[in-house]
Structure 1
Amino acid sequence: MAVPVWFLTLPGVMTLDITGPAETLQLAGDAFSLRYIGPQESVPTSTGMTIGQLAPLPENLPDGSLLVVPGVADSSVAFDTPQAIAAQHWLMRLQPAIYARQITLVCICSGAILAARSGLLRGIHCTTHHEVIHRLKSAEPTAIIKENRIFVEDRGICTSAGITAGIDLALHLIHRLCGPQTALAVAREMVIWFRRSGDDPQLSPWLRYRNHLNPAIHRTQDLLIARPERDWSLEEIAGRVHVSARHLTRLFRQHLGISVRDYHEQLRLALARQRLQQGEGTEKAALAAGFSSSRQLRRALQRWQE
């Protein structure tokens, strides 16, 4: 079942704050269902474009919804309009569902200021565009504001920095709700790569080392990710991606700074950790990930912890 996504659309909304996350989520296929709502049916955007046929603000949102609050071109005045005040009161009514994590709040850029004015960021780790950090602090003094962050997620409330960071946050949500393969496919379709906030854990090997545009390396990574447990030889991999083994080794060193073997081993370790987290024994997890024994798995873990 598709996740319903609601874009709260106000006059003066930043066009890319809507279209960036919307296009990103739309590329995830049927995983998300996008809806556009607001206090009035038609609004001008930051670029002069008009967005029309907006649905009225619903009384409630279904559980599991994503509620996106985009930023505006001038947050010093746009959040004081009658439409913004109406949206603020509507957000306040949704507070219990948001705090209960029945609804995921997603603030893009200065949209965090409207959320703060609605009482939704009390004691929450959050961020916004660097030029309006002071307005966010003023709107909610108890908020724990993280400067120089791309996006922050705390207790089901997501906030992001300026404009294009909304795309990064949308990819993060696709990763969390649909899995790394779908997020990676969307990122590649958009010809962008993953960035993480300073508060996020290090990206797993499924998503790391993809910030390049080399097709031979991408083909290699797709091949290994599809079957990380397989005992791939360098020559077979190179043949599958139509380059020489020597050239493939050079490409990995040049673009990723690691060898093909090391990249493959990191994928296997990630798979083994997943199995261990699911409660499997060490020996079984090791074999499922392609290691010859639990002893070989432990040695690999030690290598990457050093």
Structure 2
Amino acid sequence: MTLSVWFVVTPNVLLLDYVGPAETLRMAAEMGGDFLLHHVAPTPRLATSLTVDITGMSALPPELPSHSLVVVTGNACEVEDYARPEALAVVDWLRRAPRADTCIASICSGALLLAAAGLLDHRQCTTHHSLIDDLRVAAPTALVQENRIFVEDGPVLTSAGITTGIDLALYLIERHAGAALAARVARRLVVYLRRSGHDEQLSPWLSHRNHLHPAVHRAQDAIASEPLRAWTLAELAQRAHVSERHLTRLFAEHAGIGVTAYQQHLRIARARELLGDRRLSVERVAELSGFNSARDFRRVWRRHEGTAPSARRGKATSAGC
């Protein structure tokens, strides 16, 4: 299903807050992701932080289609900028345009506009470190988090801004189009793959990918595209266009993990998701995760998690956007 992404921009927008995540999602769409981008503003022409103007912006839509994501970008001088009539028009639009299934995200000081619209009430959220106190005043019932790249609370995501808007965009790509595409976009951007400090750990689908070696990435892309397949070293070496011995060495050097261990890493990640479904037996989870048997699954799980698979039961994952 196509995700309609609506970038909402106000006068004196901080350009990196806008173009960073916008270019990230544009690249994802160009590379096969099912994203449809819209760029809207209260005026068709507006100034930016770099004193150059943006023109050709579409008007704020009177209503949003189903399965939409609204991304409110940050500004260079929020005290003056958000007192302007254009910003107040955005706040009014945020109060009435979102549907029940609309997700809302903010970049940097855009969280202050969400707060003014009442969208952060009783939610966990964050913003740029210099604006944490301002956000607490603007949203007194919100649970404002410090030192976070971004925070997700149900359908609302808030980021620290500047370059973390790219982190947020990569997370959304992973959520809607898969980790393999997120990794490819990150490599194209030449950035590290990070997730929010709100999460317990780096996404297992994105970890061990913070390197630039193309052969290792080709092998990892193959494994990620078919994690249940019993990949042989020979098959992966062929995909990577190197010898088996060379791939083994490169994998350890650049990914920091062995080839077999990486395959098990992704299978355990899949099992972790499936264990949240109480309708599935451990035997069925093992099968759907690519393990030869429940016994083999339990052995690998205990090595990774230190507990039995049953300990994972009942731990729900965030539905989010």
TM-score (norm 2): 0.85
Map 1:142-291; keep pairs closer than 5 Å. Answer: 142-234=141-233, 237-238=236-237, 240-274=239-273, 279-291=279-291
2:47 aligns with 44
Match of 2:96 among 69, 76, 93: 93
- Paired position in structure 1 for 2:299: 299
Q: Which residue of 1 aligns with 2:28?
A: 28
Distance 2:67 2:288 in 1: 33
Q: By how many angstroms is 1:290 displaced? A: 4.0
1:199 partner SS? coil
Q: Provide the residue aligned with 2:77 in structure 1.
A: 74
CA distance in 2, matches of 1:130, 1:181: 31
CA shift in 2, pair 1:46/1:296, >3 Å: same
Report the counterpart of residue 318 of structure 2 in structure 1.
none
Q: 1:258 to 1:9 in 2, by over 3 A?
A: same
CA contact (8 A) 1:112 1:128 kept: yes
Separation in structure 2 between the aligned mates of residue 141 and residue 186 of structure 1, nearest angstrom: 37
CA–CA distance in structure 1, aligned partners of residues 238 and 24 of structure 2: 33
Deviations 1:157-214 (A, max 9, x none): 1100121111111111122122223322322222223211111243443221111111
Question: Which stretch of the first structure deviates more once superposed, 83-92 or 276-285?
Answer: 276-285
Aligned partner of 1:59 among 53, 62, 85:
62
Give the Cα separation in 2 of the matches to 1:230 and 1:5: 34
- Aligned partners of 1:235 and 1:35: how far apart in 2? 44
TM-score by length of 1: 0.89
Runs of 4+, deviation exceeding 6 Å: none
CA deviations over 1:67-110 (Å, ceiling 9, x no partner): 1110000112110112112222222234xx46x4x211110011
Change in Cα spacing, 1:300 to 1:92, as seen in structure 2 (3 Å) is: same
Q: Distance in 2 between matches of 1:198 and 1:220?
A: 28
Q: How far apart in 2 are the matches of 1:116 and 1:28?
A: 29
| Whole-angstrom CA distance in 2 between matches of 1:224 and 1:93 | 44
Inter-partner Cα distance in structure 1 for 2:170 and 2:197: 16
Contact 2:2 2:67 in 1 (8 A): no
Q: 1:67 to 1:284 in 2, by over 3 A?
A: closer
* 1:37 CA drift (Å): 1.9
Deviation sequence 1:128-161 (CA, Å, 0-9, x none): 1111112111211221111111111112111001
> Structure 2: how far apart are the matches of 1:2 and 1:143?
31
Gaps of 5+ in 1: none
CA distance in 2, matches of 1:301, 1:129: 38
Aligned to 2:36, the other structure's residue is in SS state: strand
Separation of aligned partners in 1, 2:288 and 2:92: 53
CA RMSD between the two structures: 2.3
**% of aligned pairs identical?**
48
How many residue pairs align between the two structures?
A: 302
Q: Structure 2: give runs of 5+ residues left out of the alignment.
A: 307-321
1:10 matched to which residue of 2? 10
Superposition deviation, residue 55 in structure 1:
2.3
Q: Is 1:130–1:162's contact at 8 Å kept on the other side of the alignment?
A: no
